[in-house]
Structure 1
Amino acid sequence: MISGIFENCIGLKDIEATLKYWTEFGYREVNRGQLSAEQAGLLYGHASDLTSLRLQNGNSSDHGLVRLLSWKQPRNQGLGHTLPVVNGSRWFASLVQDIYVLADAFNDDKANGGDWIYSEPVRAIEFTGNLGVGLYNRFVGVREMFVISSQTRQAFFQRYNYNRPGYGTIDPSSPLLVSEGTHSSMIISDHSLSSFYVEVFGLVPFESNPNRSGYEKPSTRLTLMLDEGQEFYVSGFASPKTYVGLFQVYSPLYPTPDKREYSQPGSLGLSLFTYQVDDITAFHQRITASAATKVSPILPNEFGEPSFGLVAPDGMYWIIVGQTQ
C-alpha cells in the first residue's frame, strides 16, 4: 500500500538560511542524516556527499513533509525562476489561514530586495463551489497564489465558506499559519504516461481524469502565469488509504521547454517527491517488472530507512521509502 506524497524534496545551498525560511511556515527539523558520494550515487543517481534534513509541519508525519538536500557538489542550479508550466516543473501546495497575510509578507520582502516571482491571490472555484453574487449568496471556493524563487515553488490556498476536515492542518505554532503540503504537482509532456501511477504505483485516479483547463479559466491563467491559448490536461491521483498528499499531473497542449534535468536529485530547488510504502520488497519487485528504468537496489537512506530510486516512464525521478515501526 502506498502513502500520499510523503516528502517534497528541495536542494539547497545554505542549511541555516533555508531552515529559517521553513520555520516561518511551521516546519521543524525532526531528523538529519548523511550519505557519502558513493551511497548517494546509488540511491539518488547523483554522486555527491549529502546532508539531509527532514522537516515536519505540526503533527503531519505521514504526508506533506519537506526533505532538505544539501549537496556538496550540486548537479545544477535547478529550475530557478522558470515559470510553472514547463516539462519537468514541480511544485506543492499548502492551506493557509489568511492568504493576504502571506501575500503581504512576500510583497514586503520583494520590495526590500527579496528575489520572488508570485501571483497575487485570486478567487477560484473548487468542487461544486459558488461564484458568489451578493451578500446572501456568497462565494464558496478558494483564493490561491503561486510563489517561485531559486529554491522553492509553492502554491497556497485559503478556503472560503466551506471546509474539508483533515485536508490541510494548520498548527497554531506556525508563524504564518500554513499547513503541511496537501498536494504535489508536476508537468510531463505525454499525459498517457500518467497511467504508470495507477497501474504500477497503485494510486487511485480521480473519476474526472483527465480535465482540460488553462488560459480560458481566469484563476488558472493568473495563478499559473499562462499566456493566451495555453491549455493543458490535468489528472489527479490519491493513495488508496488517504485523500491527503494528493498527486497531480499536468501535460501542456502546446510546446514547452524540457526542464526535467533541472528537477532531479542533485539539482537545487524542488527536485524530488517521495512516497512511503508498507512492503518495500514487494513494491520494489513490482517496479522492477515495470517500464521504470534506473531502479536502484533497496538501500538505507540517510535516515537509515530502506529506500530505492527509480525513473518513471515520463522521465521523472522518484524515491520510495519503506515504512518502519
Structure 2
Amino acid sequence: MNQNPTIEGIYEVCIGITEPMPMIEYWQQFGYRIGKTGELTAPTVNNLYGVNSNLRSIRLYHQNVDHGLIRLMVWEKPTNEGLEMTSMRVLGNRWATTLTTDVLNILNHAEDAYLTGLPIKCTFPQWEIIYKTDKGRPFFDPAVGVREMMLLQPLTRQVLFQRFNYTVPEYGKINHASTLKTSQFTHAGMIVQDDSKETLQFYEDVLGLLRSRDNSETSYESSEAARQIFDLQPGEKFTVTTFDDPRSSTNWQEARSGRMYIIRFPEEIKLQSCFEQSQPGCLGMSLYTYRVSNIKYYFERVKNSAATKITDIVNNEFGEQSFSFVAPDGYLWNLISK
C-alpha cells in the first residue's frame, strides 16, 4: 500500500435524498452508473457526519474516471430540505459543473421541464471567453470560448458548458454514449467572503492543493453569464480562485479536472448564510470529498490547523477510512482513504 501522502481532485459531490431511484435515473442521462453501495447506523453516522440518522449511500461512477463522482446519501431522517432553489450568491452554496458537447439539447430539456410545471430554473447558454487567446476575425477565424448555462432544481445545482474550437485533454471526459453527451463533474464550486484571503490558505498549506488561478476578476459589466448565474448587480464584482489536484498544471492546456472553484465576493456585499442547508443530513448538494493516501498524515495536518469540528478516523458507509472537518471558510469536508 502506498503510504506517500497524496491528494487528488474533488472525488465526489454528495447529494442528500430520500428516494434513490429518481436521482439514479436522472444521473444516468449524464453518463453515470451505479457503483458501490453501503450503510451506516445512526451512532456511526453521528460520529462521522454529525447527523442522528441511519444512512444508505450509493456511489455513482462515470466511465473509468477517478474523480468527479456522485454519492447519493439516502437519509432516513434528513435534517432539512437543503438549498433547494436558493440563489447561487449565498454563503454555503455548492454546485457542480459538467462539460457537454450539446448544451442546447440540455436547454431544450430544461425548458420542456419548465413547461410541464416542474420546479426548475435555467439560464440561456451565454458566450464566455474563459482563456485569453489571440482574437480572430468574426466569420473568418474560429471563435474560441464556451457556452455556459445554469440549471437549478430542488436537489441539484448544476453549471454546464460546451467548448468551441479548443481542447483541454485532461479536463473532462465525455461519455458519448450518454443521452446528454456529458462528462463527469469537472469542478465543484463554493461562495466565500474573505477580503484577506487568509482562509483560502488552508487548501494550499494544509491540504496541499495547487492554486492554479487567483484574483481573476469578474464584474457585472464584463460577464453576462455571471449576471444571470450569480445575480450580479450593476457595479458588483467577484474574484475567482481555483485549487487543483497537485498533478495538474497552471498551464490551462495541461490542467486536470477535479478543480475546486471558489468565488469570493467582497465583504461589503451582504450575502445570506446558508451553511446550515449545505452540510451532511441536508437534502440536495451538501458535501464534497477528497480522496487521499496516508489519511493519518492529513488527519494530523488538519488537526493542527484552524479547521474545526474534526471527527475521528472511522470507516464510512463503503468501508473506507474517513474523517470530516469544517474548513476555516465554514465549509464541511470529508476525506477518504484510497
Shorter-chain TM-score range = over 0.9
Note the residue ranges of structure 2 that are not aligned, 5 or more in a row.
Answer: 1-5, 249-255
1:81 equivalent in alignment to 2:85: yes
CA contact (8 A) 2:88 2:229 kept: no
User: Counterpart in 2 of 1:287?
Assistant: 302
Number of residue pairs matched by the alignment: 321
Amino acid at match of 2:35: V
Change (3 A) 1:132 1:146: farther
The partner residue of 2:198 within 192, 197, 201 is 192
Distance 1:256 1:95, change over 3 A: same
Residue of structure 1 equivalent to 2:251 = none
The answer to whether the 8 A contact 2:218-2:237 is kept is yes
SS at match of 2:322: strand
Aligned to 1:18: 23
Are residue 270 (structure 1) and residue 285 (structure 2) matched?
Answer: yes
Alpha carbon RMSD of aligned pairs, Å? Answer: 1.3
**Paired AA for residue 224 in structure 1:** F
1:158 aligned to 158, 162, 178, which one? 162
* In structure 1, distance between residues paired with 2:201 and 2:299: 18
Q: 79, 82, 103: which is aligned to 2:107?
A: 103
SS at match of 1:185: strand
Matched residue type, 1:57: H
C-alpha contact (below 8 Å) 1:6/1:64 kept by paired residues: yes
- Whether the 8 Å contact between 1:146 and 1:224 is mirrored in structure 2 is no
Q: 2:60 aligned with 1:45, yes or no?
A: no
Residues 130/50 of structure 1: CA separation in 2 closer, same or farther (3 Å cut) = farther
* Residue identity in the other structure for 2:14: C
Question: Is contact 1:10–1:68 with CA below 8 Å preserved after alignment?
Answer: yes
In structure 1, what is the equivalent of residue 234 of structure 2?
A: 228
Report if aligned partners of 1:117, 1:147 keep a CA contact under 8 Å in 2. yes
2:265 to 241, 252, 255: 252
Q: Which amino acid aligns with 2:281?
A: G
| CA distance in 2 between partners of 1:38 and 1:291 (Å) | 26
Pair 1:132–1:88, CA change in 2 (3 A): farther
Deviations 1:262-320, CA, capped at 9 Å, x for gaps: 11111111000000011101111111111111111111000001100011111110000
Shift in Å, 1:131: 6.3
| Partner residue in 1 for 2:214 | 209
Check the 8 A contact 1:40/1:49 in 2, yes or no. Answer: yes
1:136 maps to what in 2? Answer: 140
Contact 2:155–2:285 under 8 Å retained in 1: yes
**Unaligned residue ranges in structure 1 (runs of 5+):** none
Whether contact under 8 Å (1:129, 1:139) holds in the other structure is: no
Secondary structure (helix, strand or coil) at the match of 2:228 reads: helix
1:306 matched residue in structure 2: 321
Q: How does 1:67-78 map to 2 (within 5 A)?
A: 67-78=71-82
TM-score, normalization: structure 1? 0.95
Are 2:240 and 2:263, in contact at CA under 8 Å, matched by a contact in 1? Answer: yes
> Amino acid of the residue matched to residue 326 of structure 2?
V
TM-score normalised by structure 2 residue count = 0.92
CA distance in 2, matches of 1:77, 1:151: 9
CA–CA distance in structure 1, aligned partners of residues 191 and 13 of structure 2: 15
* Separation (CA, whole Å) in 2 of partners of 1:194 and 1:88: 15
State the Cα distance separating 1:121 from its structure 2 match: 0.5
4+ residue runs over 6 A deviation: none
Query: Residues 121-165 of structure 1, C-alpha deviation per residue, up to 9 Å, x if partnerless?
Result: 110001124666422123101001011111000100000011111
2:185 equivalent to 1:172: no
Match of 1:146 among 150, 153, 158: 150
